[in-house]
Structure 1
Amino acid sequence: MTIQNQLIVDRFVDIKTVCATLCRSRASIYRDIKRGDFPKPEKRGGSSRWRVSDLNKIVAAEGSL
């Protein structure tokens, strides 16, 4: 049996998904971005998108509080 290396591509999600995942309002997300407490979105075709891996880190950090 051989082990094959597989490339795992990080997904991007929109602000609605970010808000639903973190149970926070859109305004609070953008306020924290402005303060530097939340990762900035990446622009994809004129839309703001966040990496799922970044959201997972935030959820994990909140769970350890």
Structure 2
Amino acid sequence: MQTTSPMPETLVGISTLVQMLQRSRASIYRDIQNKAFPKPLKLGGSSRWKLTEVQAVIERLSEDRPGN
């Protein structure tokens, strides 16, 4: 019997977020301080975000746009 393990959560770094969101590092970290963006997971000396959490923020923002 073959079992499949769940796919691990994809983690993205700040440079990926900058490209995805078209925002500066400073504005992303400011949104974290203002609790408008999820806190990163700390792995060693680096910060990583769960891709599903980032996508949820993008979805929420697109739903909040006028005309939607």
TM-score band w.r.t. shorter chain? 0.7 to 0.9
Q: Distance in 1 between matches of 2:24 and 2:57?
A: 15
Q: TM-score, normalised by structure 1?
A: 0.82
Q: TM-score, normalised by structure 2?
A: 0.79
Secondary structure at 1:48's aligned position in 2? Answer: strand
* Residues 4-57 of structure 1 deviation map (CA, whole Å, 9 limit, x = unaligned): 665121111110101111111101001111111111101112101101001110
Partner of 2:49: 50
Q: Which runs of 5+ in 1 are unaligned?
A: none
Partner of 1:12: 11
**How many residues are treated as equivalent by the alignment?**
62
Partner of 1:59: 58
Larger RCO: Structure 1 or Structure 2 (Cα < 8 Å, ≥ 6 residues apart)?
A: 1
Q: Percent identity among equivalent residues?
A: 40
Task: Report runs of 4+ in structure 1 exceeding 3 Å deviation.
Answer: none
